[in-house]
Amino acid sequence: MTDQTLTNRDWWRGAVIYQIYPRSYQDSDGDGIGDLRGIIRRLPYIAELGAEAIWISPFCKSPMKDFGYDVSDYRDVDPMFGTLADFDAMVAEAHRLGLKVIMDEVISHTSDEHPWFKESRSSRSNPKADWYVWADSKPDGTPPNNWLSIFGGSAWQWDTRRQQYFLHNFLSEQPDLNFHNSDVQDALLDITRFWLERGVDGFRLDTINFYFHSQGLEDNPALPPAERNDQTAPSVNPYNYQDHIYDKSRPENLGFLTRFRALLDEFPAAAAVGEVGDSQRGLKIVADYTGGGDKVQMCYAFDFLAPEKISAANVRKVLEDFGRVATDGWSCWAFSNHDVKRHASRWGEDEADPRAYLKVVSALMMSLRGSVCLYQGEELGLTEANLAYEDLRDPYGIRFWPEFKGRDGCRTPMVWDSKMKGGGFTTGTPWLPVPAEHMAMAVDTQQGDPASVLEHYRRFLSFRAAHPAFAKGEIAFLAAQGDGVVFTRRYGNEDIICAFNLGAAALELEIGMSAGSPLAGHGLQGSADGTRVSLPPYGAWFGRAA
C-alpha cells in the first residue's frame, strides 16, 4: 500500500468510480466472455479516463443463473473469469495505476448450489438448518404469505426435502440467507475479511436493504395505484403493487451494518457503497445507512436510474430532499448501470442533439454533491442494444418479454476497435451480440477527437479533479427557470457557480448573484454578465463566485 492509501481514509468521498461488467469488458482468451486478464489489459484506459476507482460486478464462482449474482463459492474466482492469481495481479496493477478496487459483494442470498444451502435443505435439524429463510406452508399448502419476487411470481419456493418453503427475493435459484442468525452474519463478515486481506479497497453491497425480513412473515399491504412507480421493478411487474415493509428495509439491518463498518475500519482505507432498492423510501434509507459515521460510507438509490427522464426540477428536488433527510449522509450518483436501460436511450434518444445532451447531463452528474459511478461504455455514448428474443440471456427479460426486454441490452460488449470483428472485445464469438451501431462509437473512433463524448468525459474529469469543491464541497441551489439548473459548490476558499441547460433551446438565467469570473477547461459553452448566465442549447457555464 502507498502512504496515501494509508492516510486518506476519506478517498471515497467524491470519488469517481468506473463500473466494469466483467463478462462484457475485454476477453483475453477468445471464449467470447470477458475476464480478469482482459480487465488488466484495459486498466490504463480507465486511469487515463480520470476515474479513481473501479467497481467490478461479481466474478466469484457461480452457476451463472443470474450471471454471478448467485454465488456458489465466495472465496474463489469463477474459472470463466480466471483465477485468484489473476485477481491478485489485477489488484496490483490497479494500485500501481492509482486506482482503488471495489468488488461486488452479494450476501443477501447465495446460489442454491452453495454448500451452505445444500446442507440447509437436507433436513430441519442439520447445523445450517436455520441459515436460510424457511417457513411452513399455510394449511392449504400455499406459500406462507403474499411476498413477491422481483423476478416474477411468489418469493417462496417449495422444497420437497424439508417440505417447507424457502424465501427468494430474486430467482428461485437464489435462496435468501437468514440474517437473524448470528452465525450467518459471522460467516459473511469472515468472507469480507478474506477479500480485504487480499487487497480490495471496498465493496459494492448488492441489494443492501434486502438483508433482513420480518420474522412475523406478515403480508405486505397493497400499494395504492397512484403511489406505484417502476424504480425498483419494471411497470409490468406486480412487485410494484405492494408496499414492501415486511420483506426488506427492516430496522434490524442497521445493527449488521455497524458490524460491517467496524470490520472495514480495521483496514487503512476500506469503504463500501450500498445499493438501495426501495421505490417508496430510497432516500430515507440511504440517509439511515450512511449517517452517523458507523455504517456504510455511501449508498445509491434509484432516483436517477429510473425510467423517468431527468429534469431541472427533479435534480433539485432529489438533491435538496437528500440534504434534508441525510444531513451527514453521502450518496453515490449514477445514470446507468448493468440493470437499467442505458441513459443514452432512456433519456437522450428524442433530443435534438443526443451527443450534446449526453455531454451536458454527464457534466451535471459529475458536478453534484456526492460520489459518481460511471458505467462502462457511457463515456462513449453507447445506446441500449435492441436484441432479438433468441439472443436474450437474461432470465428477467425472457420472463417479461416483450413488454420488458430485460437487462441484456445494457450488457453488450464494450467496443474498442471499429476495424476488428466484435469491436476488439474478443477474437471469438461474443456471449451477446455487438450492435452494429456501437461499432461507430468504438474507442478508436473517438480517441483524439475533441468533439467526441469520450474526450468530453476525459476533459471534464480532469476539470473536476482540478477543483476540490466538486468532490468535497457543499451544494446550494440558486433560482433557475425551465430547463436550467444552477447551484454552487463551496469548499474552503473555493466557491464555484455551476449552470446547466438541459434543453434544446437557448436559456438566459437570472441567478440572483454575481456570476464572477469564468472557469476554463470543461469544454462546454456558456457566458455570464453580471447576474445573468447565457446558455446555448445543452450548454453549461462554470465560474468562480465573486
C-beta of residue 423 within 8 angstroms of C-beta of residue 416: yes
Backbone angles phi, psi at 510, to 5 degrees: -90, 110
C-alpha cell at 426: 474478443
Q: Of 3, 140, 197, 266, which is the active-site residue?
A: 266
CB 289 within 8 A of CB 208: yes
Q: How many CB atoms sit inside 10 A of residue 22's CB?
A: 25
CA-nearest of 170, 151, 153 to 111 is 170
Phi then psi for 135, rounded to 5 degrees?
Answer: -155, 150
Measured CA to CA in angstroms, residue 265 lies from 33, 190, 295, 404 at distances of 35, 14, 10, 42
The residues near 134 (Cβ < 8 Å, ≥ 6 apart) are 120, 124, 159, 162, 164, 165, 166, 167
Q: What H or E segment, with its residue span, contains residue 104?
A: strand 100-105
Tell me which residue has cell 463524448: 453
C-beta atoms surrounding 421 within 10 Å = 14
Directed axis angle between helix 453-465 and helix 36-49, to 10°?
A: 70
Residue 308 CA to residue 344 CA, distance in Å, equals 13
Catalytic residue among 27, 105, 176, 206: 206
Q: What is the largest CA-CA distance in the chain?
A: 76
Q: In terms of residues, how long is the chain?
A: 546
206 is catalytic: yes
Residue 137, helix vs strand vs coil:
coil
Q: Distance between CA atoms of 330 and 323, rounded to whole angstroms? A: 9
Q: Beta strands of 206-263 (E only): which ranges?
A: none
Based on the residue annotation, tell me whether 408 is a catalytic residue of this protein: no
Catalytic residues: 206, 266
